[in-house]
Amino acid sequence: MMNKSILSALGALAIFVLCSGFAPGVFTDPNASTVTGEIGIKGVGPMMGGLVFFYHAESGPPPSATKYWLVPAYSFKLDQNSRFTAKLPEGTYYMGAIERSSGEALGPPAEGDYFFISSDKKGNPKMLTVWKNSVINLGLINEAEKFSRASLAKKGITSVEGTIRDEEGKPVKGMAVYAYATPEMLEKPLFVSDPSDQDGKYVLRVNRGGKYYLMARVGYGGGPLSPEELAGVYKDGKPVSIKTGENRKGIHISVFKIIMSGHSHHF
């Protein structure tokens, strides 16, 4: 029998996967702004079968292609002409896009994916401000390049790492670890890890030190929980404390099968 903190965290997980803007094209509002454009790959041509995503500038640090992975606020599929139409609430955003070699839609870029975060000539992420009921055409954005893990920053990184194991103690591959700012974990997560490897190892990079609440689940796609899906939180929902520039190791997470029964979640 799980205690209240884990059950509360699982309730948060259900809310996250059902409501997350990480899933493509979820925002609908009669006062929404419309942002359109076309995405290209440098030296290749149109980005086909990709996804464009937007981050709230007010809700966290700017996105980074080399230091950490933020969870987008909204994402939208490109059409067959590499164009997108995004419906967004009024606000200020950063944007980027990805075309995956694996065919999967969401999550951090993998080796060989075409990826970019829209940046100025100095390499700083560009801000995009939209107003209620506005229509903005960004034209052709020809910034995507092939992603290489060799480009990831190695110095000055703040990160948490550990292993993910099931209830039998076996390592679990392909799990994503999300970092939240509050113990309730009801808001959108701030950061997300690369998928755990065959040994269950994950590395979660964040922008600075602080307290983070960690939750692990399978993949990045959102949507309803699958029957007997694996999920779990770190240490019954206790925070991980880390200093800026620290690589904190040994932060292990146990995951369990979730059995869906009505609106409850059982282990």
* pTM for this prediction: 0.84
What pLDDT score was predicted for residue 266? 34
User: Which range has the top average pLDDT, 10-19, 28-37, 200-209, 211-220?
Assistant: 200-209
3 state SS of 8: helix
Asked which of 21-30, 141-150, 154-163, 202-211 is least confident by mean pLDDT, the reply is: 21-30
Domain boundaries, the chain: 4-19+154-266, 33-151
Say whether pLDDT at 261 is over 60: no
Distance in angstroms (rounded) separating the CA atoms of residues 257 and 143: 41
Say whether pLDDT at 57 is over 90: yes
What CATH number does domain 33-151 carry, 3.30.365.10, 3.90.1170.50, 2.40.40.20, 2.60.40.10?
2.60.40.10
User: Which residue has better confidence, 71 or 29?
Assistant: 71
Q: Phi/psi of residue 168, each to 5°?
A: -95, 0
In angstroms, what CA-CA distances link 246 with 26, 177, 258? 36, 18, 33
Cβ-in-10-Å burial (0-12, 13-18, 19+) of 136 comes to: middle
Given a contact cutoff of 8 angstroms between Cβ atoms, the answer to whether 253 and 164 are in contact is yes
Asked which of 65-69, 94-98, 105-109, 199-203 is least confident by mean pLDDT, the reply is: 105-109
Say whether pLDDT at 14 is over 80: no
Q: Phi/psi of residue 50, each to 5°?
A: -100, -170
What pLDDT score was predicted for residue 24? 52
What pLDDT score was predicted for residue 241? 98
What pLDDT score was predicted for residue 178? 94
Q: What is the CA radius of gyration of the chain?
A: 19
Cβ-in-10-Å burial (0-12, 13-18, 19+) of 150 comes to: exposed
Cβ neighbours, 10 Å, residue 12: 22
Which tens digit of pLDDT belongs to each residue from 165-211?
999 999 999 999 999 999 988 888 999 999 999 999 999 999 999 99
Given a contact cutoff of 8 angstroms between Cβ atoms, the answer to whether 231 and 10 are in contact is yes
Mean pLDDT of 137-162: 95
Residue position matching structure tokens 């679990």: 172
Which tens digit of pLDDT belongs to each residue from 211-250?
999 999 987 765 555 667 889 999 989 999 999 999 999 9
Domains 4-19+154-266 and 33-151 fall in the same CATH topology: yes
What CATH number has the domain spanning 4-19+154-266?
2.60.40.1120
Q: What is the DSSP letter of 70?
A: B
